Amino acid sequence: MYHTTKKAKKTNDHDVIQDYLANVRNLLARHKLVEDLVHRQDMLHHDRVETLVHKQNRVELQQLLDKIESQPVAHILEDLPSDDRQIVWQLIRDERKEEIRQELSDFVRAQLVIEAKPRSRSMMIRVFDLHEGLLRQVPIESREDLAKVNPVWIDLVRPEDEQLAWAKDIFGVELPNPKELTDLETSARFYVEDNGEVHLHSDFLLDRKDETRNVAVAFILSKNTLFSVRDKELPVFRLQRLRARAESGYVTEALDVLLDLYAAEVEYSANALEDVYTELEGVGRQVFRSHMTDDEAAKILAAIAEEEDLNGRIRRNVLDTRRALSFLMRGKFLSEAQHADVREILRDIESLDGHTSFLFNKINFQMDATVGFINVNQNKDIKRLTIISVVFMPLNVLAGIGGMSEFTMMTEGVPWPVAYSSFAVGLITIGWITFAGLRFFENRKIKKNPAASRRES
């Protein structure tokens, strides 16, 4: 009886799962059917109708999946084709996915994990080819997609080991891990491999309100393809992509892309220097006031130090760019037109050198002026303490005498309130006379040298 009941229960569970599977397949079939019909019709508001149909079908399918327990959902995923499985998996709520994943076979579980990765890959690896004189980005979702293209530039931002392996297998290029791009010796930054690959490790400026630093970028020129690897998205690369996509003939080969990146970096550094100018002008207006508190001076020093750090990073950055361009010129990798472009970039770098030197002097001057204000404030405090100590010096002497037994003998027969009141009045009078004398000599000094007194105040 028990075995009969157990067998009947299994049969019933199987029937329930089959019913759920049939309902899921019907909803998926309706989804595809309506989608095909919408695409075939030339109707007004085509996109709006398509989106509405998608939402309605997705909502119905999601409501059905919410009612089904984890184990039946796992059975449904096992029985569905790969494309339908992905659609259903995306509609399952995140809080249920881990429990359902435990019920899946290793093959299906691995497939779901692998097929979920391509969404983020497009952000890690960007591939560009030349199309009608324009740089065109090619969407890459798998290794097969990468093997089909004839790229002129492959840009990798924080790539996974898998993407680095793709580049090695397809193009035969050993790309460095961006986490290992640290400060290298000059001999290790620019070199040529025996197979003709050109390697350059350069610093690119990242200047944001919350972050300012130099980001190391590795370039590899191999078989008319430029590979760039870094661990941070940079404004220069975004600018280069926009320009090359918009202007026909902007780049014609991989080396043009590299030179334009260096040119854009010099431009970006020049804009950063303009921002330094603007900030220092604001600081200068505060420095050249007639009075400054110590708290204000501390804030000004912090602002000056920040601009000095940025100026130093820009100077180091353009120096690194100059060395990279000089390496390309010495290596005879450039055509005549590219030589002319490099000479133009080097002239821009020379002009930036002059600006960074001027800013360095300006920063030093403003820092010295701010420190001078701090010293003046300290001198004023010391002066006040000196006046107080001079005023109370004779009073301390008299108070010491007043505390001796001789004072008691001298005022014998005089009531003590009268004696000590007279003594206190005498102390106050002497203190006032001392202070008045100090003020008299100070005013006399001011009359003799008014210019020096104005600087002191």
Assign residue 291 the CATH number of its domain.
3.30.460.20
Task: Check residue 49 and give its pLDDT.
Answer: 44
Q: How many CA atoms lie within 13 A of 194 on its CB side?
A: 0
CA–CA separation, 346 and 174 (whole Å):
30
Residue 395 domain-assigned (yes or no) = no
Domain co-membership, 220 together with 291: yes
Which residues have a Cβ under 8 Å from the Cβ of 399 and sit 6 or more positions away?
A: 427
Is 446 a residue whose pLDDT tops 80? no
Confidence of residue 42 (pLDDT cuts 50, 70, 90): very low
Domain co-membership, 144 together with 101: no
> 178: which DSSP letter?
G
Confidence of residue 344 (pLDDT cuts 50, 70, 90): very high
Domain co-membership, 169 together with 292: yes
Domain co-membership, 218 together with 333: yes
Confidence of residue 118 (pLDDT cuts 50, 70, 90): very low
Domain co-membership, 183 together with 291: yes
Domain co-membership, 100 together with 125: no
Domain co-membership, 87 together with 132: no
Residue 380 domain-assigned (yes or no) = no
Residue 391 domain-assigned (yes or no) = no
Domain co-membership, 33 together with 134: no
pTM of this prediction? 0.58
Candidate from 176-180, 321-325, 396-400 with smallest mean pLDDT: 396-400
Alpha helix stretches (DSSP H) within 133-223: 143-148, 161-171, 186-189
Residue 379 domain-assigned (yes or no) = no
Domain co-membership, 72 together with 200: no
Instruction: Find residue 155's DSSP bridge partners.
Output: 126, 228
Among 116, 142, 162, give the residue marking a domain's end. Answer: 116
Cβ-contact 197, 208 below 8 angstroms: no
The domain tally of the chain equals 3
Structural domain including 352 reads 121-372
Domain co-membership, 180 together with 253: yes
Domain co-membership, 264 together with 365: yes
Residue-by-residue DSSP string for 344-380: HHHHHHHHHHHHHHHHHHHHHHHHHHHHHHHHHHHHH
Task: Check residue 208 and give its pLDDT.
Answer: 72
Among 372, 394, 423, give the residue marking a domain's end. Answer: 372
Task: Check residue 19 and give its pLDDT.
Answer: 76
* Domain containing residue 52: CATH number: 1.25.60
Confidence of residue 226 (pLDDT cuts 50, 70, 90): very high
Residue 416 domain-assigned (yes or no) = yes
Residue 382 domain-assigned (yes or no) = no
Domain co-membership, 109 together with 126: no
Mean of pLDDT values over 358-386: 77
Residue 385 domain-assigned (yes or no) = no
Mean of pLDDT values over 366-384: 76
Among 372, 387, 416, give the residue marking a domain's end. Answer: 372
